[in-house]
Structure 1
């Protein structure tokens, strides 16, 4: 298949490109850089018509947007996070509608932040609650914009990512660092849920969604064994053979991270029901297996 990818330079985009190419697919990456080769097409600059260079495509993947992990969540940065997603998705929909033949599927990135933070509820794709905070509104509006492509005959899948575990970026390197320095401990109350997923399984789930026509709408991309934050930290310590002893209280996290501290001080208990019902096999179904893969080669 010929697959067009927006956001290919990001943490998830790079891994998705690798997995798709290993599976034999042609990947065309939409980029803001002026790159002249067969794999890249410039977009989001005035006067450009990327659809002319694309020609046709079997599938589109939208991972484009300012990272939620970079910088403090000032009002300006929140605006950039929100508007970058809306702008990129609008342009992607315009490109799709300008092609002579529409692709069959649009995979649009999303996040479990759409669910309200709760220490007791278990969420699956049938859950209708939407968080009222910044992240909940952003994810909700992003999904609704992407889902408008259904009117054009596309199958749309909104992949709701959990906390992505990778050593190359995202939140995990900062979560593991205190343990490497023998200073790890419970963050906040420790009772908040961490619905995590190994980055390899994120990329494999995206490929699975492209190939599996039974999947549409929201799809939770989280491992089947979420942990509460205290147990999550204890497991990092056990894998690294480091103590779990110095707590990081909530007020300290709020001072250090501002509004972004919500990413680690609150959480959602999420089940990847659609993936499990369609027999997706996680390479790293348990936290221990994921951390062994990521950390034991890098101690």
Structure 2
């Protein structure tokens, strides 16, 4: 049986939130005041699994460190270099008991490449230094059955730390994609099973064709390296470089691939194995790695390629 299904596997990508402002309510809000200590006791982290990476969705995991039960009504993230975030799906009121945590699903705001990006901190600085702010909306007491998250509640403003510098990484990747696209259009045009040369002789694998189409009047873009993925490895080495990429001058690069692994769950759990990591220079300036996606049909063909090359029955 061919393994084509994908199952979510949470990746440990986190952004911590620490309270920095007292709770406040909008004029006319008919809500009970929050019990003492709730605003100071709330904390959260932003989690992003591999199913959310490509379209910049995330989950804000809010933890109630106070001694009072509250209702979580929603939340938003405000980061430098990003527009306003938005809810990912329906907002539901969730009871948040002392010591418990709940997820808020959101979409990161539109990346603004003309604005200063979030700081890319690391180590202890990333754990403690805020790089953005957020607002979490809560109400006193637990939620009632059928209550949605439309109520205003009480807004608690928080500072945001980013232990893994994800906000900076997403900003850099999106802006690099846009810059590269001003000079060249990159797209996968073909994926097929084939016998390919390797250092140990010919082996079952496949070929992926990447179209490299210059944009008239744009900057000079040169591909310098394409890395392997969790599913695919270069047939002749650790990455495609140099002579592997000379075809870009003629409008396409053909990549000989072999499976990176042959344990079936690598396909069953795949989320990013069909995104080609491309390293490029624009007018001689190196850019952060960007990812060229495949269509649904090309993803299926890639899974078939791995299936056949691994000899699964």
TM-score, normalising length: structure 2? 0.25
Higher-Rg structure is: 2
| Bigger proportion of residues as strand | 2
TM-score, normalising length: structure 1? 0.26
| Bigger proportion of residues as helix | 1
